Amino acid sequence: MDESRGQWYDLTGLTKTSGTNYVVEVSISSSRTNYVYMFNICAQLVGERTATTASGMVKTCDAEWEMCQIDVTNDDVEVKDLGSYVDDIVPTVLASGQLQLKYTNGDYCPYWQVPRTTIIYLSCDPNVFPGQAVFDNEISCTYQFTWITAAACPKTYNSSIPVVTL
- In angstroms, the CA 119 to CA 101 distance is 6
| pLDDT value at residue 166 | 44
- In angstroms, the CA 71 to CA 61 distance is 11
| pLDDT value at residue 112 | 94
| pLDDT value at residue 7 | 80
Q: What is the mean pLDDT of each run of 10 residues along the chain (166 residues)?
A: 69 93 93 93 93 95 96 94 82 92 95 96 97 96 97 78 51
- In angstroms, the CA 7 to CA 23 distance is 30
As assigned by CATH, the class of the 3-155 domain is mainly beta
| pLDDT value at residue 90 | 75
